[in-house]
């Protein structure tokens, strides 16, 4: 299906997770405006607050190479369930999403993933438009 490649890349990225404290490995892959794909994993730190989530790792890699807009994002955490992105990652997705209804793909495994829209998982979001009022 349409997002199979994105899903595979997110699953692969999870292998690189650095999660010695939580032992909770996460992988992500983001599809950008030109159909390029960037992967990411969570990267923890002995100073816990310095941890970066997989989704933000992927998004920041893409942005720091000149990409501007997210078309879709896939994430895998616990392979026994569909892990949802944390609140901070949902907010970061909102800042750079092409639209409020981009797909957020929640992966259990290659054959089992569900698709939500960003607006569904972060309704009533605070955006740059709110600052213009
Ligand atoms: N984590 C992510 O990478 N993405 C999320 O959306 C949820 C949480 C990571 C952060 C930390 O390394 C571990 O999962 C446990 O919170």
Q: Domains (ranges, CATH) in the chain?
A: 4-131 (3.40.140.10)
Q: Percent of the chain, pLDDT > 90? A: 98
Residue 113 pairs with which residues in a beta bridge? 107
Query: Would strands 103-109 and 112-117 be described as parallel, antiparallel, or unpaired?
Result: antiparallel
| Residues annotated catalytic, as ranges | 55
pLDDT of residue 133: 74
Which residue from 26, 29, 81 has its CB within 8 A of the most atoms of ligand 1, so it is best to mutate?
26
Report the distance separating Cα 20 and Cα 83, nearest Å: 19
Q: Percent of the chain, pLDDT > 70? A: 100
> Could you tell me if the CB of 51 is within 6 A of ligand 1?
yes
| Mean residue pLDDT across the chain | 98
Q: What does the pLDDT look like over 35-45, one tens digit per residue?
A: 999 999 999 99
Token digits of residue 59: 């998004």
> Could you tell me if the CB of 29 is within 6 A of ligand 1?
no
Query: Would strands 70-76 and 103-109 be described as parallel, antiparallel, or unpaired?
Result: parallel
CB 74 within 8 A of CB 10: yes
């Amino acid at each position: 299906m349409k997002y199979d490649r994105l899903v595979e890349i997110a699953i692969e990225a999870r292998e690189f997770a650095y999660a010695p404290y939580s032992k909770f490995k996460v992988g992500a892959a983001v599809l950008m405006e030109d159909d390029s794909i960037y992967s990411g994993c969570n990267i923890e730190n002995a100073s816990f607050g310095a941890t970066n989530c997989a989704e933000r790792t992927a998004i920041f890699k893409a942005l720091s190479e000149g990409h501007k807009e997210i078309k879709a994002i896939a994430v895998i955490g616990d392979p026994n369930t569909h892990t949802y992105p944390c609140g901070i990652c949902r907010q970061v997705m909102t800042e750079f999403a092409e639209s409020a209804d981009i797909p957020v793909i929640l992966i259990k495994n290659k054959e089992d993933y569900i698709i939500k829209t960003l607006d569904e998982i972060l309704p009533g979001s605070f955006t740059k438009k709110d600052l213009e009022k």
